[in-house]
């Protein structure tokens, strides 16, 4: 059995019924992989990191009630499994598997008798989950003009896609860092090459676009990772090049901007890749350079920050590209380096299920080591990088992406020409 209920019983008011003596809600959120439940209790089950197997009481009386609620809306990723512990469940003995795997689900069970055992009073999904407000503005930051020069300057992007002039930098000047939004309306820059060594330092960006001073780095110092939002308000940095070699580790960022320690990597180690959010709460890493050369593989990230195995790439193998979300639930990869001194302006759209489309003919100057971010609720912008006419000469040109994923022609650049920079969306206010 899979938790399918053919007839649910609800009160007309929509309020979950309780036993005569009232339901005791256990104050501690359950995060463990196992739980021994007691009759008369309500439990908040957080399966962000693991499946939870729940063992019901070995004996029960008619009217005994237990309620389980999806605390983090993650049962769709990590389910709960009910062990009826010798008693029947919906008329079936405990040799049957009972599991619930829907995000936002509430399970309210009542014991009837020895024949039917435990029966769900209701098994419903909370459909009105909070929706993260759309990103309205963007920020380009850091980079290099070439050689040993490293920059800390930023350029803000308004909700119409207009890039502002240079803002004096804060924090360690560096190139090939990564950036992403977090917390619903803020952003973070992290990692990169400061001209002397690779670093793990990070800088938080407020919802008004103000860059904060350095935060001591967490995790393996590296350059050229990718970064994206996931889970609505959290972020992930992944892959990159350490002082020794390519890596595949990731670092999760909380909704308050705290960078977590290294998580053992999944998929091929590589650097100079790109990443973006898609599907409203998931993310995708794509392309880059691995031990075998330039690649087009992708790795999907779940809404709880779990990275999937390599997916065979679609489109041109390339590195030093950029990516951003658009259309509220889709993403786009664009531009990059193909090898053999060839720079491209080709792009690849990503559906709201994480499927990468074949190459779309390029628009605008082909360039490499550029950056991209979302803006204006459902649009994106690519900016800066090295021009195709001279791979050693930076540019400040930008290209806007419509809500349907169409890249517009070049817009004359504003701000210091540079490459090896990063970009992220921020602010819910236009």
**285 domain residue, yes or no:** yes
- State how far the alpha carbon of 195 is from the alpha carbons of 141, 144, 155, 395, 418, in Å: 16, 10, 21, 21, 15
Same domain, 158 and 92: no
Contacts for 224 with CB less than 8 Å, ≥ 6 apart: 176, 178, 240, 241, 271, 272, 273
**363 domain residue, yes or no:** yes
Q: How confident is the model at residue 362 (pLDDT cuts 50, 70, 90)?
A: confident
Mean pLDDT, range 4-25, rounded to an integer: 45
Mean pLDDT, range 369-379, rounded to an integer: 97
Mean pLDDT, range 206-225, rounded to an integer: 96
User: Which range among 23-27, 164-168, 223-227, 264-268 shows the weakest confidence by mean pLDDT?
Assistant: 264-268
What global pTM score does this model have?
0.76
Please tell me the distance from the alpha carbon of residue 241 to that of residue 245, in angstroms, as a whole number.
6
Output the CA torsion 277→283→288→290 (10° steps).
Answer: 170
Q: What percentage of the chain has pLDDT greater than the value 70?
A: 93
Give 328-340 pLDDT, tens digit per residue: 999 999 999 999 8
Domain boundary among 65, 91, 125: 125
Give 102-160 pLDDT, tens digit per residue: 999 999 999 999 999 999 998 877 666 666 789 999 999 999 999 899 999 999 999 99
Give 277-323 pLDDT, tens digit per residue: 999 899 999 999 998 899 999 999 999 999 999 998 889 999 999 99
Give phi and psi for 288, each to the nearest 5: 110, -175
**74 domain residue, yes or no:** yes
- Contact between 344 and 320 under an 8 Å Cβ cutoff? The reply is no
Q: How much is the pLDDT for 214?
A: 97
Same domain, 103 and 240: no
Same domain, 51 and 110: yes
| Nearest one of 376, 371, 384, 375 to 410, comparing CA atoms | 384
**346 domain residue, yes or no:** yes
Mean pLDDT, range 360-371, rounded to an integer: 93
Q: How much is the pLDDT for 127?
A: 65
**4 domain residue, yes or no:** no
Q: How much is the pLDDT for 391?
A: 61
Give 343-361 pLDDT, tens digit per residue: 999 999 999 999 999 999 9
Q: How much is the pLDDT for 366?
A: 93
Same domain, 301 and 405: yes
Q: What percentage of the chain has pLDDT greater than the value 90?
A: 81
Q: How much is the pLDDT for 350?
A: 98
Give phi and psi for 5, each to the nearest 5: -110, 125
Same domain, 146 and 38: no
Domain boundary among 69, 100, 125: 125
Domain boundary among 96, 125, 154: 125
Give 230-255 pLDDT, tens digit per residue: 998 999 999 999 989 999 999 999 99
Please tell me the distance from the alpha carbon of residue 382 to that of residue 108, in angstroms, as a whole number.
49
Same domain, 43 and 145: no
Please tell me the distance from the alpha carbon of residue 333 to that of residue 226, in angstroms, as a whole number.
12
Same domain, 144 and 111: no
Q: What is the CATH number of the domain that holds 418?
A: 2.120.10.80
**100 domain residue, yes or no:** yes
Q: How many domains does the chain have?
A: 2
Please tell me the distance from the alpha carbon of residue 73 to that of residue 44, in angstroms, as a whole number.
11
The DSSP output letter for 8 is -
The DSSP output letter for 182 is E
Give me the domain span that covers residue 49: 24-125
Same domain, 93 and 149: no
Q: How much is the pLDDT for 393?
A: 81
Looking from the CA of 135 toward its CB, the CA atoms found within 13 Å total 36
Mean pLDDT, range 81-95, rounded to an integer: 93
Same domain, 70 and 183: no
Same domain, 389 and 284: yes
Beta strands in 351-420 (DSSP E): 367-368, 371-375, 379-387, 394-401
Same domain, 49 and 147: no
Q: What is the CATH number of the domain that holds 116?
A: 2.60.120.640
**220 domain residue, yes or no:** yes
**10 domain residue, yes or no:** no
Q: Is residue 266 over pLDDT 90?
A: no
**β-strand partners of 247:** 240
Same domain, 174 and 30: no
Average pLDDT, the chain: 91
């Amino acid at each position: 059995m899979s938790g399918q209920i053919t007839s649910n019983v609800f009160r007309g008011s929509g309020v979950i019924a309780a036993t005569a003596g009232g339901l005791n809600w256990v104050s501690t959120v359950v995060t463990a992989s196992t739980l021994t439940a007691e009759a008369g209790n309500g439990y908040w089950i957080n399966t962000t990191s693991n499946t939870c197997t729940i063992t019901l009481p070995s004996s029960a009386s008619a009217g005994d009630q237990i309620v389980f609620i999806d605390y983090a809306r993650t049962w769709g990723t990590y389910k709960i499994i009910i062990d009826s512990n010798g008693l029947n469940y919906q008329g079936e003995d405990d040799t049957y598997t009972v599991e619930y795997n829907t995000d936002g689900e509430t399970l309210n069970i009542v014991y009837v008798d020895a024949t039917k055992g435990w029966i769900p009073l209701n098994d419903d999904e909370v459909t009105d989950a909070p929706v993260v407000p759309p990103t309205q503005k963007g920020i380009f930051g850091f980079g290099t003009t070439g050689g040993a020069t490293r920059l800390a300057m930023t350029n803000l992007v308004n909700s119409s896609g207009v890039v502002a002039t240079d803002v004096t930098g804060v924090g360690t000047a560096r190139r090939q860092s990564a950036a992403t939004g977090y917390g619903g309306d803020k952003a973070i820059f992290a990692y990169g090459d400061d001209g002397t060594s690779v670093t793990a330092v990070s800088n938080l960006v407020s919802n008004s676009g103000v860059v904060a001073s350095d935060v001591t780095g967490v995790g393996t110092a590296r350059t050229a990772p990718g970064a994206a939002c996931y889970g609505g308000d959290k972020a992930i940095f992944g892959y990159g090049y350490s002082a020794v070699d390519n890596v595949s580790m990731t670092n999760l960022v909380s909704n308050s901007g705290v960078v977590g320690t290294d998580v053992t990597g999944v998929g091929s180690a590589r650097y100079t890749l790109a990443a973006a959010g898609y599907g409203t709460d998931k993310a995708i890493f794509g392309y880059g350079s691995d031990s075998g050369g330039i690649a087009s593989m992708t790795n999907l990230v779940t809404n709880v920050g779990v990275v999937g195995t390599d997916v065979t790439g679609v489109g041109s193998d390339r590195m030093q590209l950029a990516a951003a979300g658009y259309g509220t639930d889709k993403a786009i990869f664009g531009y990059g380096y193909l090898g053999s001194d060839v720079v491209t302006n080709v792009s690849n759209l990503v559906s709201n299920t994480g499927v990468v489309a074949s190459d779309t003919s390029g628009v605008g100057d082909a360039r490499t080591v550029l950056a991209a971010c979302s803006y204006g609720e459902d649009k994106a912008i690519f900016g800066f990088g090295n021009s195709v006419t001279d791979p050693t000469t930076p540019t400040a040109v930008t290209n806007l992406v419509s809500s349907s994923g169409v890249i517009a022609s070049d817009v004359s650049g504003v701000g210091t020409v540079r490459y090896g920079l990063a970009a992220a969306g921020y602010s819910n206010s236009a």
